[in-house]
Amino acid sequence: MYSDQSALDLVALVGAPNVGKTTLYNWLTNSKFKTVNYPGATVEYAVGRSAERLEANCYFMDTPGTYSLFPKSSDEEVTLRALYDQHEQGQVKKIICVVDGSQLDRHLLLAEQIYLSGFPMVLVVTMADLLTKNNLKLNIEALEQKFNGPVVLFDGVLGGGLKELIQKMKELELTQPTKLPAWSHDQIQEKIEMIRELSSRVYGDADSKSVYKRTEQVDRWLLHQYFGLAFFFVIMSLLFSSIFWLAKPFMGMIDFSFTWLGNQAVALAPNSLLTDFLAHGLIASLGAVSVFAPQIFILFFGIGILESTGYLARAATLIDKPFSKLGLSGRSFVPILSGFACAVPAMMATRNISSKRDRMITNFIIPLMTCSARLPVYALLLSFAFKDAAAWKQGVALALLYLGSLFLGSLVAGILNKILAKSEMSLFMMELPIYRIPRWKILFHDSLSRTKTYLLRAGPVIFVFAVIIWAGTTFPNYSTENKSEKMESSYLGQVGRSIGPVFEPMGIDWRVGAGLLSAFAAREVFVSSMAIVFNVSGEDEESQAQGLLKSMKEAKLPNGQLLFTLASVSGLIVFFMIALQCMSTFSVAIKENGSWKFALIQLISFNVIGYILAVSVVQGFKSLGLG
């Protein structure tokens, strides 16, 4: 089966941003690939086995969008390196160069560079559906002659052209590619002239105006001086509010299932340690975090829609001027928006910011954005603070927290912009692609797999902490009837009291303090820790979530005062807004900035400032008599 010459060769897909490269990649691999992706684009290269039914028997590699083989941003360096490096699947043997059929004059320069490097190449012209719809007929022979190789038209919506592409790719003969020496200014001019002449021959009398007519009409609204901003706010509010109202029924269902599961476990053997661990340790903590999976899915899905329709490029354009006042650029918009999902892919997404200074400032403020791991924490704390208030108040408070993180980010960026020396010129230069209808199936599949990754990654950490915290609060006096006495004399209680003084100024006791410490493994662990520490009397009929809220509401400090008051909850929220409690973010910060110093400054300053502000808020509230 693998005997033919192209068997298991590594074939790279190369093309400018927004040409439909990733769509083609999805068709070629049947969406089965491993990748470190962020909603919006390819930041690492992804490698996947060819879909079985295509009988291509090779690996396909998707690379970040690039305009040329002479890189200008770290994103483009990734692509260049990927083409020449040795990979697990060997070296890149062939290239599929992807160009947008409605913009050949802009994309063929890259094809020329690949052709001159000597890679065996199939040229794929995308947007075939748009071309057909608008009766545009291209002179494909002219392209075949120029690049002395096959050219295939591809329709990303229906997958038309796929078979032909595989056939042509298999027929390519292997060569020894070389690295292209940099072009002089005159050479570039010469090449550009050649490409212009070539594309005018390919287009002939065809008029591409009809292709972009609808986009132009939509842009009149979406980029309008006033309406444009209004749409921007409406679209962003819709995205973030849907995280709550749309997710609510699904969250209810998940909460219900875990509550049922816990009750079943207890019913198996009501007084055994094992079922106690299962119900009040493992199931409670996994349930506390799984409840938020629908919200995370909706966030990824929403960002995916904005990206694939072409709106994100418009949003970046709208926001460029205000952002530039803070030392950022419109290009920082996508990474910052992704930061609301997770700081790890968001930091990787800063690679397409060409200015080092812009990139550093963006990376510095990303961990301040309300990432999905903070969501469970805020939701818990707010539902506690607003337990008897109308549901919309909680929603408004959450919206304010999201806005608050943007405000904090702007503040920090503004300060850094003042402190840091200005270096090279920062570039914006953004292409606004034609509006397209998203491919819902791919989007759905993608968001689902990201949500799964989130749960799988969080799972083991939550399990470990569930064991530690359950055992720590259960032993040594596990047979004691009095629950609070059992807790006080437990191992965790003993350790907790020794670190208690650190948390006292925040208005919290050692139990919450232990939760805060466990949150350094991952923020959402705070919620599962709280579920174990406080949900000790979970044998009632209520749902898990309600049970937890009830025990938290009744919890008292050693001096008899209530533990969770407006003051202490506000203090906790302030701490979670600022503190950098995520080890994955810390390690990505080191990698993406190539500097321990950057990551350490970020880690220490965010945590120290978070603690000081939290203490100030708590003490401030108390002095006002709101403790």
Partner 1 sequence: MTDEKNPGITLFDFSKNGDSGPLSGPQGSSESLQKSALILGFSGPRLVTDRLQEFGMHSGLMIRYVGRAPFQGPLLYRMGATVVALREEEAQCILINPL
Q: Does 40 bind partner 1 (CB under 8 A)?
A: no
Count of positions on this chain that bind partner 1 (CB under 8 A): 52
The piece of 101-109, 247-255, 375-383, 415-423 that touches partner 1 (CB under 8 A) is: 101-109
- Per the listing, tokens 């070389």 go with 178
Q: Does 422 bind partner 1 (CB under 8 A)?
A: no
Report the residue number, 106 or 201, with the smaller CB distance to partner 1: 106
Min dist. Cβ of residue 199 to partner 1 (A): 9
Q: Which of 250, 384, 428, 520 binds partner 1 (CB under 8 A)?
A: 428
List, edge to edge, every strand of the sheet that includes 46-49.
Answer: 46-49, 58-62, 9-15, 92-100, 121-126, 151-153
Min dist. Cβ of residue 433 to partner 1 (A): 8
The piece of 313-321, 389-397, 464-472, 486-494 that touches partner 1 (CB under 8 A) is: 313-321
Name the token pair of 182: 């940099």
Report the residue number, 2 or 226, with the smaller CB distance to partner 1: 226
- Per the listing, tokens 């999805």 go with 26
- 374-385 vs 525-534: helix axis angle to the nearest 10? 40
Q: Which of 160, 156, 267, 147 is nearest to 541 (CA)?
A: 267
Report the residue number, 217 or 587, with the smaller CB distance to partner 1: 217
Q: Does 435 bind partner 1 (CB under 8 A)?
A: no
Q: Which of 252, 261, 312, 306 is nearest to 284 (CA)?
A: 261
The contacts of residue 21 (CB under 8 Å, 6+ apart) are 13, 14, 15, 42, 62, 63, 65, 98, 126
Q: Does 424 bind partner 1 (CB under 8 A)?
A: yes
Q: Does 452 bind partner 1 (CB under 8 A)?
A: no
Q: Which of 28, 92, 114, 211 binds partner 1 (CB under 8 A)?
A: 211
Backbone phi, psi, residue 555, to 5°:
-60, 140
Binding mask 122-151 for partner 1 (x = CB under 8 A): ------------------------------
Q: What is the DSSP letter of 562?
A: B
Q: Does 172 bind partner 1 (CB under 8 A)?
A: no
Q: Does 478 bind partner 1 (CB under 8 A)?
A: no
Q: In angstroms, rounded to a whole number, what is the distance separating the alpha carbons of residues 456 and 475?
A: 29
Name the token pair of 613: 């502000």
Q: Which of 32, 163, 214, 224 binds partner 1 (CB under 8 A)?
A: 224
Q: In angstroms, rounded to a whole number, what is the distance separating the alpha carbons of residues 108 and 124?
A: 11
Residues 320-349 that bind partner 1 (CB under 8 A): 320-322, 324, 330
Report the residue number, 107 or 351, with the smaller CB distance to partner 1: 107
Min dist. Cβ of residue 75 to partner 1 (A): 13
Report the residue number, 18 or 26, with the smaller CB distance to partner 1: 18
Report the residue number, 232 or 384, with the smaller CB distance to partner 1: 232
Task: Quote the strand ranges of 33-141, DSSP E.
Answer: 46-49, 58-62, 92-100, 121-126
The piece of 297-305, 423-431, 525-533, 574-582 that touches partner 1 (CB under 8 A) is: 423-431
Q: Does 53 bind partner 1 (CB under 8 A)?
A: no
Report the residue number, 193 or 554, with the smaller CB distance to partner 1: 193
Q: In angstroms, rounded to a whole number, what is the distance separating the alpha carbons of residues 308 and 534?
A: 44
Q: Does 542 bind partner 1 (CB under 8 A)?
A: no
SS3 of 447-507: the string is HHHHHHHHHHHHHHHHHHHHHHHHHHHHCCCCCCCCHHHHHHCCHHHHHHHHHHHHHHHHC
Q: Does 77 bind partner 1 (CB under 8 A)?
A: no
Q: Which of 421, 425, 437, 456 binds partner 1 (CB under 8 A)?
A: 425
Q: Does 102 bind partner 1 (CB under 8 A)?
A: yes
The contacts of residue 381 (CB under 8 Å, 6+ apart) are 569, 572, 573, 576
Q: In angstroms, rounded to a whole number, what is the distance separating the alpha carbons of residues 266 and 269?
A: 6
Min dist. Cβ of residue 434 to partner 1 (A): 7
Min dist. Cβ of residue 329 to partner 1 (A): 8
Q: Which of 189, 272, 494, 587 binds partner 1 (CB under 8 A)?
A: 189
The maximal CA–CA distance of the chain, rounded, in angstroms, is 89
Report the residue number, 312 or 533, with the smaller CB distance to partner 1: 312
- Yes or no: say if 525 and 518 are a contact pair by the CB < 8 Å rule: yes
Q: Does 193 bind partner 1 (CB under 8 A)?
A: yes
The contacts of residue 466 (CB under 8 Å, 6+ apart) are 281, 282, 284, 285, 286, 528, 532
Q: Which of 228, 500, 505, 620 binds partner 1 (CB under 8 A)?
A: 228
Q: Does 68 bind partner 1 (CB under 8 A)?
A: yes
- Yes or no: say if 111 and 147 are a contact pair by the CB < 8 Å rule: yes
> Between the CA atoms of 73, 352, 122 and 168, what dihedral angle is there, to the nearest 10 degrees?
140
Report the residue number, 77 or 164, with the smaller CB distance to partner 1: 77
Q: Does 219 bind partner 1 (CB under 8 A)?
A: yes
CA distances from 217 to 78, 220, 231, 316, 318 (A): 36, 5, 15, 19, 17
Report the residue number, 309 or 546, with the smaller CB distance to partner 1: 309
The angle subtended at Cα 456 by Cα 454 and Cα 458, nearest 5°, is 65
Q: Does 253 bind partner 1 (CB under 8 A)?
A: no
Binding mask 259-298 for partner 1 (x = CB under 8 A): ----------------------------------------
Beta bridge partners of 172: none
Residue 97, helix vs strand vs coil: strand
- Per the listing, tokens 């490269």 go with 21
Q: Does 550 bind partner 1 (CB under 8 A)?
A: no
Question: Interface with partner 1 by CB under 8 A: which residues?
Answer: 67-68, 70, 72, 102-103, 105-107, 109, 185, 188-189, 192-193, 196, 208-209, 211-212, 215-217, 219-221, 223-229, 313, 317-318, 320-322, 324, 330, 354, 424-425, 427-434
